[in-house]
Amino acid sequence: MHFNLAFNYFSRSQTSPEFLRLKELTYLNLSRSRFSGLLPQEISHMSRLTFLDLSNCDMKIEQKSFDLHASNLTKLSVLNLGLADMSLIEPFSLLNLSSTITILDLSDTGMRGNFPREIFHLPHLQELHLSFNEYLTGYIPESNWSSPLRELDFSFSNFTGEIPDSIGNLLFLEIIHIGGYNFTGKIPASIGNLSKATKIVFRSNQFTGQLPYQVSGLSYLATLDLSDNSLQGRVPSWLFTLPSLNYIDLSQNKFTGPIDQFQSLNSLEEVHLEENQMHGTIPSSLFQLVNLTDLDLSSNDLSGTVRYDLLPELKNLRYLDLSNNSQLSFISSSNVSIRYLLPSPWKLRFSYCNITEFPGFLRNSEKLEFLDLSNNIIHGRISKSDSQGWKSLTDLDISNNFLTQIEQHPWKYITVLNLRNNTIQGTIPIPPPSTRAFLFSNNKLFGQIPPSSPSLSSLEYLPLTHNNLSGTIPPCLGNFSTQLTILHLNNNNLQGRIPDAFANGSCSLRSLDLNNNKLEGPFPRYLADFDELEVVNVGNNMIGDTCPCWLGSLPELKILVLRSNRFYGPLCLPNIMLPFEALRIIDLSHNEFTGFLPRWIFVILEAMKNVDEKGSDGLYMQGEEDYYQDSVTVTVKGRDLVLKKIITIFTTIDLSSNQFQGEIPQVLGDFKSLIVLNLSHNGLTGSISVSFANMTALESLDLSSNKLHGRIPEQLLSVIAVESYQWTKNLAYGACITQDYFQPNRITVHPGQTALLFKFGSNRVTVHPRGQ
């Protein structure tokens, strides 16, 4: 009797005891039915069951219940408990399962402990699935292992050790998947004995050494994935001659040497050899794989010449990536009509390929959707005729070349247009309505920003930085797209006021950079309406207004730069206490702020006090897609440094060159993660608090040109010097600050004192030697 409720939705209800009383059942399938609760004990009374599938339910299995089922269900052949909660089950209790088991699936069950090797030797076992059990340990049997196993999968579990030669005894094995970081040693030659294998996946482990020189017997192998290991040596040519192989992935290894020519039976459809150390020329036999759809040779050290006229042989090619092979060169053949070249590719990557001119064979690629020619040495222009056949193109990257002109583009469906870092001249071209990212920074554009078209409703990224744009910012710039996330217009010659471009608050603005223009007038208050805003940089303009403390209501604001403007008056008043809960970089320097430094302002800056180093280490502020990076200029040791990438743990406070008075709040000593503090060129008085010694991450402290007096706390000098060296090692972009920074003002430095990183010039402070 069969009972099948699979692929239903019982809304996490518990199983009914009524149908579970059907003791004559031989087949019970409740998979993907959304039952929940504990494993019903009634199932243990169905002693005739041969098939039991409880996978993808929300059931929890307790030890006592599992033991009861294992002892009573003696006729079970198929047991699938995948995604059930078995975190309370001891693995050794699996030995109580019936010896009649042919299929056992315990994948992603949360089991912990050591998996018993005896299970591998069950006499009828054909499939064993143990994947995604990160706390389940075990080893592959090293000897006396022969069984009818057809499928073996313990990928991304915690099995360790080497693959023993006994793997070759599994003569019925069709699929083996052991990806997951923990296996070591060499891949044994006995793998060639798996004459019925169709899929071998050993990816993401720590395998070393060379592949076997010669292997025979893998006549049915269709998929071979050895990616993300440390395999070495040359890629053996026999891999390309296996008669049934259609997918091979050897990427992210350490293979060297040239790729040998081979005689192929043309079954291969996908070849991935990227991110290795292979050199030499690309064998012409690769271009004879007529069924090939995907070829990735990127990030190697390949050289020689690629003839464009070889490419038409790849009639089914969809994806070709030769990027990051800077020794390659490309030539075309006058004997081949470009009309018939590459009839079907949709994604081509030729970045860092030493290409000197626009490839003519691309002119009639009507199905081409993605084209990357970035980081080459292409000069001149792209004419209308060069791109007239791009009827399907959606993503074009020609950044970091030497282009001077791109004619009116005929393509209609572009979503990403990346022309950054060229020398393109002229006015800003109007992108098509489908554009999501219009990346035109670092060129020689001039003229005014044209009024934005209402049809650009999909635009998300608009960086036009480092050009020669002039005039005013169009009033309607921010209203045409509710998707606009990035607006970077910095380093141009824009004038006038910042318009009420986003006053309706309808877009998703995350980063606004208007730095280094000639903008003036008040600071727009509507910015407080953008809850997703992370970066506001209006430095180096002529904006005149009071302190925009109302920005403190923005929950995601991390960077606020107002430097070198005409802001004036006191900092935020106590009746406007807003948290600035995420702020990590604040630069108010070179303005006309006055008054005291209120203690309460520094109390609320919680994000600067204790940065989670482990959670943020190595991460930079940028979008989910690599269409932009936030940058900022900070003053460190009296020098302006441009951080082109901002590490998320970087914190700085710069209030220098204003007219602040009074004492420095002692609460600054709570900023244990602060890296740069600059209060120089103000009218601050009082002494330097010993609490500053708590700022153990500090790399640059500038208190010069104030009216401070007293002595510099010895604790400050003894603590910070060592820690600062560690921070400079961890900052990917910025200053490596390791030299003396006292200047010959009214300060006495006695022998034996550490004087790293500090600037106290034009004050009346004294450093006393230790013990005095």
Could you tell me which of 278, 227, 235 has the C-alpha nearest to residue 253? 227
Token digits of residue 455: 């049809």
CB atoms within 10 A of CB 466: 19
How many domains are there within the chain? 4
Residue range 259-276, pLDDT digits in tens: 888 876 678 999 999 999
Q: Quick one: pLDDT at residue 658?
A: 96
For residues 152 and 166, state if they share a domain. Answer: no
Residues 149 and 169 in one domain: no
Beta strand 632-636 with 639-643 is: antiparallel
Cα–Cα distance measured from residue 644 to residue 627, given in angstroms and rounded to the nearest whole number: 14
Q: Give 1: exposed, middle or buried? Use CB within 10 Å, 0-12, 13-18, 19+.
A: exposed
Backbone angles phi, psi at 526, to 5 degrees: -65, -15
Round to whole Å and give the CA distance between 714 and 768: 7
Q: What is the 3-state secondary structure (H, E, C) of 692-723?
A: HHHCCCCCEEECCCCEEEEECCHHHHHHHHHH
Same-domain status, 29 and 96:
yes
- What are phi and psi for residue 122, nearest 5 degrees? -55, 135
Of residues 376 and 647, the one with the higher pLDDT is: 376
Q: Name, in order, each residue with C-beta under 8 angstroms of 98's C-beta and a sequence gap of 6 or more.
A: 70, 73, 74, 75, 76
- To the nearest 10°, the Cα dihedral for 96, 99, 105, 106? 20
Band (pLDDT 50/70/90 cuts) for residue 40 is: confident
Q: List CB contacts of 457: < 8 A, sequence separation 6 or more.
A: 433, 480, 481, 482, 483
User: Residue 83: inside a domain, yes or no?
Assistant: yes
pLDDT at 400: 95
For residues 92 and 609, the model is more confident at 92
In a domain? residue 47 = yes
- Specify the pLDDT at position 610: 76
The share of the chain scoring above pLDDT 90, in percent, equals 48
pLDDT mean over 210-239? 91
CA end-to-end span of the chain, whole Å?
93
- The last residue of one of the domains, among 278, 310, 345, is 278
Is residue 451's pLDDT more than 80? Answer: no
**Which two three-digit tokens encode residue 100?**
């009649």
DSSP string covering 18-76, please?
Answer: TGGG-TT-SEEE-TTS--EEEPPGGGGG-TT-SEEE-TTSEEE--HHHHHHHHHH-TT-
Q: Give the mean model confidence (pLDDT) for residues 129-156.
A: 90
Kindly report which listed range (28-37, 515-524, 572-581, 717-726) carries the lowest average pLDDT score: 717-726
**What integer pLDDT is reported at residue 537 of this predicted model?**
95
Domain assignment present for residue 487? The answer is no
Query: Which helix (DSSP H) or strand (DSSP E) does residue 635 occupy?
Result: strand 632-636
Q: What are the tens digits of pLDDT across the range 592-618?
A: 999 999 888 888 888 888 766 544 444
Residue 187 has pLDDT above 80, yes or no: yes
Compute the C-alpha angle 122/128/133, nearest 5°: 125
**Predicted pLDDT of residue 574:** 66
Tell me the residue type at 737.
Answer: I
Q: Where do we find the tokens 């208050």?
A: 525
Residue 557, both tokens: 């604001």
Looking at 228, 245, 278, which one is the last position of a domain? 278
> 182-196, 502-516, 646-660: which has the highest mean pLDDT?
182-196
Residues 248 and 303 in one domain: no
Same domain, 575 and 694: yes
Which secondary-structure segment (H or E) carries 730?
helix 714-730
> Which token pair is 319?
């994806």
Dig out the tokens for 120 from the structure: 């591998």
Radius of gyration of the chain (CA): 33
Which residue has better confidence, 408 or 523?
523
pLDDT digits (tens, 9 = 90+) for 678-730: 999 999 999 888 888 888 888 888 888 999 988 877 777 665 443 333 333 32
Question: CATH number for the domain including 247?
Answer: 3.80.10.10
Q: Are residues 562 and 575 in the same domain?
A: yes
Domain span holding position 226: 161-278
User: How far is residue 210's CA from residue 276's CA, in Å, rounded to a whole number?
Assistant: 14
Structural domain includes residue 447: no
Q: Is 411 left (phi over 0), alpha (psi -120 to 50) or beta?
A: beta
- For residues 749 and 759, state if they share a domain: yes
Which range has the worst mean pLDDT, 189-198, 421-430, 641-650?
641-650
Q: 171-175, 474-478, 559-563, 625-629 — which is least confidently predicted?
A: 625-629
Do 666 and 743 belong together in one domain?
Answer: yes
pLDDT in the model for residue 412: 80
What confidence score (pLDDT) does residue 141 get?
A: 87
Q: Quick one: CA dihedral 154, 156, 158, 160, positive or negative? A: positive
Question: pLDDT tens, 510-569?
Answer: 999 999 999 999 999 888 888 899 999 999 999 999 999 889 889 999 999 999 999 999
User: For 285-309, how does the pLDDT look when each residue is reduced to its tens digit (9 = 90+)?
Assistant: 888 888 999 999 999 999 998 887 7
- Are 135 and 228 in the same domain? no
Closest CA to 640 of 698, 587, 565, 572: 587
Q: Which of 40-54, 381-395, 447-461, 703-717 has the highest mean pLDDT?
A: 40-54
- 86: confidence class by pLDDT, cuts 50, 70, 90: very high
| Residue tagged 């004997």 (tokens) | 335
Whole-angstrom distance, CA of residue 658 vs CA of residue 73:
82
Asked whether the predicted pLDDT for residue 457 surpasses 90, the reply is no
pTM: 0.82
Has residue 756 got a pLDDT over 50?
no
Give me the mean pLDDT over the 402-421 stretch. Answer: 85
Q: 755 is written with which tokens?
A: 């004087």
- The pLDDT, as a whole number, for residue 2 is 78
pLDDT of residue 101: 95
Q: How many CB atoms lie within 10 A of CB 362?
A: 22
What 3 state SS string does 325-377 have?
CCEEEEECCCCCCHHHCCCCCCEEECCCCCCCCCCHHHCCCCCCCEEECCCCC
Q: Are residues 569 and 718 both part of a single domain?
A: yes
Measured distance CA(348)–CA(352) in Å, rounded: 13
Least Cα distance to 378 among 401, 400, 352, 397 occurs for 401
Q: How far is CA 441 from CA 534, 539, 559, 644, 690, in A?
A: 21, 18, 21, 14, 46
Q: Which of 252, 365, 227, 359 is nearest to 306 (CA)?
A: 359
Contact 192, 213 (CB under 8 A): no
Q: Has residue 424 been placed in a domain?
A: no
pLDDT of residue 107: 96
Q: How many CB atoms lie within 10 A of CB 651?
A: 25
Does residue 756 sit in the same domain as residue 619? yes
Q: Are 295 and 273 in contact (CB under 8 A)?
A: no
What is the structure's pLDDT at 570? 92
550 and 695 part of one domain: yes
> 107, 136, 159: which is the final residue of a domain?
159
- pLDDT value at residue 746: 32
Query: Is 735 inside any structural domain?
Result: yes
